[in-house]
Structure 1
């Protein structure tokens, strides 16, 4: 730790994200915390402060410190006249007139450069100390960082993490999305993905293979862990749980339908759903129509601490995500790994990258069909207490070996340090030559 701090001391890493802080993106908070713990200075650049989730998170001392280092970019006014005036005022205030002029180059940025939005997209970077590295979360934020670099605002390496939706495209839009990301893939230094499925998506979009590093989102095994004793599982006691936004992609209706089938066969099962979103009313209506609403518990959005407490009180995690109408699929599904860290076997539909987060027949099961009936026999297998204990042990061991956040965090810090060192060496060579 000390050697890492000595190397990292005074180095500034800027994190670019959408809203901050966000409960569903605790992996970003974890990576920022990891940088701080390893001696880096950090600044956070967000499109907005997420006041919906902020009350649930800012009681954490680390979150409060992060918020004090968070800067919100100045958004471009809708009025083109106001936009032009504010752009010149901002450029003059921040001594960034040259950067503003570069941002208006239509030959580099296309005709849309002339609407002045390019300049506003990286406005929060103008007045701060120049960073030693930028870590952009999600592809569009990587574009903002690259634009800032091309316009002379920053000169540091740029790492961009893709997470899923930012790499998804329908076949009819492939050419357009490839063009959208072409500048990022050309000038960005490194791209992080959480698994093979997402890696292939980036390659299909035109990202050079040699620039991609697979780094799965890690699980804190000190937080996500089994209870000393869990209520015995059996036909008379099965507790299912799912965590995720209530959107069609997450497909929690599968869990409700599976619950209904099991109860109709005499299994005393219940189902806990953690998350919020636009599908809440549809899911509640489905539970009512199937007469299982007494056994479906909607807990809404919870903090990570609350999830760590509630998750291990259940028996089986349902990874219900599938392919939605646009063809989008889950790229990793960190919640599956967190559940296994708590000793919960997983029953997954196996779409996208979710299949890689479990070992079929060892830590859980990947179903061959999205029909709820396909999961019944696997549930019966796990109701056997001897089988369940074996799967529970295997699940924890698998995550400890493959998704331990201590290992993934060390890898990420090594990436930061190597990129910064390489950048410094290149700068030194330029000075010498």
Structure 2
């Protein structure tokens, strides 16, 4: 199998899709499966490697943190002609994805797509709901020629099926590194670094962006009963378009760390007491699974992919999106009841241990092989 992959994000960019694709290509490297990856250049320069082609890019008008590649069609065509892919995998509906789609159709190569982002949900946060109808029309048109479309969660699958998006939609789930994100990473140094003196650490990890409903995190903290709030420190990890504005409003019990990665991030997860994640726009929710693997109960929005990770009343609680009162009530409950919190923490870790990256990628590649074989049989 020789896979040509087209995406508008990849490491070292910091988002769920980029990290998933990095895991994916690491798996292909481990298994000795040949691939060529076509992605935009990011804001951070990276060394060139033979199997990754990067192209000049510009910020996406509606979402500047997403970059659109300016492809070199002749170069891409030459690369693909030499590589001779047996499967095209498109992970973006934009410029590079269009080129992958065109090449696959022209050469009658089996093609799959992966759907990662609810663009229609994002439009409401960027005052562009007038584009919703056209976004859906375009996405439906774009995905029709693919042999199969992969989505991260059952709720995403149901949403697309309800719109007659594509006749063949499968779930490509996500895993987590259980050793890296582990309760064993708990460290006193986190309290020392961020000067945390309060008994409890309430944690949010993710982009500091409108579609993540970060304001609900802040509102929840301020809505806690006074005696709980006095014993709680809110730690917000991440960067994004709202970071400068929100972090400027200083509060002695709220710390904005900015972007963290590696051991610093795993220690923060493991050293917190509770994970708060109100985003209603997730197709999966990678940070939720990282928190669970680190042994944290999760209070999340009953929406999108998060609702498939959190079992209400077992390893956390689910709240109606934007309902601050519910978030505050459940946060207060778990911060006050330590024994319940520990039980939920154990259940979180146990759930995360059931999701293995290798098994998920094995299943994905087997699905690719079935598609390629079926197309060969039809051609014969």
Normalising by the residue count of structure 1, what TM-score does the alignment of the two structures yield? 0.72
Is 1:133 aligned to 2:87, yes or no? yes
- CA displacement 1:352-375 (0-9 Å, x = unmatched): 332222000000001246343323
Shift of residue 224, structure 1, vs aligned partner:
1.6
Aligned residue number for residue 93 of structure 1: none
More helix per residue? 1
Normalising by the residue count of structure 2, what TM-score does the alignment of the two structures yield? 0.81
Aligned residue number for residue 279 of structure 1: 242
8 A Cα contact 1:262 1:269, kept in partner: no
Aligned CA-pair RMSD: 3.0
Aligned residue number for residue 199 of structure 1: 157
8 A Cα contact 1:224 1:342, kept in partner: yes
Aligned residue number for residue 149 of structure 1: 104
Is 1:378 aligned to 2:340, yes or no? no
Is 1:33 aligned to 2:26, yes or no? yes
Is 1:390 aligned to 2:343, yes or no? yes
Is 1:316 aligned to 2:274, yes or no? yes
In the alignment, structure 2 segments of 5+ residues that lack a partner are 59-68, 189-196
Selected match of 1:342 from 282, 285, 294: 294
Structure 1 pair 298–75 and aligned structure 2 pair: CA distance change class (3 A)? closer
Structure 1 pair 50–305 and aligned structure 2 pair: CA distance change class (3 A)? farther
In 2: Cα distance, 1:229 partner to 1:243 partner: 16
My pick for the range that moved more, 251-260 or 26-35, is 251-260
How many residue pairs get aligned? The number is 349
In 2: Cα distance, 1:258 partner to 1:33 partner: 38
8 A Cα contact 1:241 1:317, kept in partner: yes
Aligned residue number for residue 35 of structure 2: 42
Shift of residue 304, structure 1, vs aligned partner:
4.6
SS at match of 1:340: helix
Shift of residue 314, structure 1, vs aligned partner:
0.8
Structure 1 pair 330–314 and aligned structure 2 pair: CA distance change class (3 A)? same
In the alignment, structure 1 segments of 5+ residues that lack a partner are 1-10, 59-63, 77-116, 323-328
Is 1:190 aligned to 2:148, yes or no? yes
Selected match of 1:18 from 8, 18, 30: 8
- CA displacement 1:327-365 (0-9 Å, x = unmatched): xx2222111111111110001132333222200000000
